[in-house]
Amino acid sequence: MRFTKFGYASVLTLLAGCIGAPTPSVKPTPPAGSTPPAKEPAAAVPAVKARNWDDYRLTAAHRIVQANVADSFSGPLPQRLQSIPVLQVQLNRDGSVRRIEVLRTPKFAPQTVKLAMAAVHQAAPFGSVAHLPQPWQFNETFLYNDDLKFQLRSLAAVE
């Protein structure tokens, strides 16, 4: 088999992509559509009665970060993000997670989808949504750096 200069560069680039940080272990998540086992609620941010969906989403974002401090980062975003999964979190009346839909699966580091879903489940329940208009759901974008630590888009815009 003969390689041109371009062929060698392509092979080296492909091999370089195979070498990297070890894949982080992922906490198991319940099957889609099921409710995770009961656990202690994330107490860092109290569930408050939000006036609208924007308030609710911000409160939920703070709750997600504070329930997953070791898996998140703060400060300026890097110029290049490793992965950007987008989730739609569908809720029950009491604010527990009914279902999570993946709206965007990243091409690089697709395992971050499971990490993001686990972070949402870790922070739930988020507080009653009975007073808010249906559908009872919100979207969240997870911004992962090279260390596979996340920052949430809804909070990055606030800071």
**pLDDT tens per residue across span 105-122:** 999 999 999 999 999 999
Looking at residue 143, the DSSP 8-state letter turns out to be: E
Tell me the domain boundaries of the chain. 26-31+41-156
Q: pLDDT band for position 148 (50/70/90)?
A: very high
- Partners of residue 151 on adjacent β-strands: 143
58, 59, 108, 110 from 104: Cα distances, Å: 20, 22, 12, 10
CATH number of 26-31+41-156: 3.30.1150
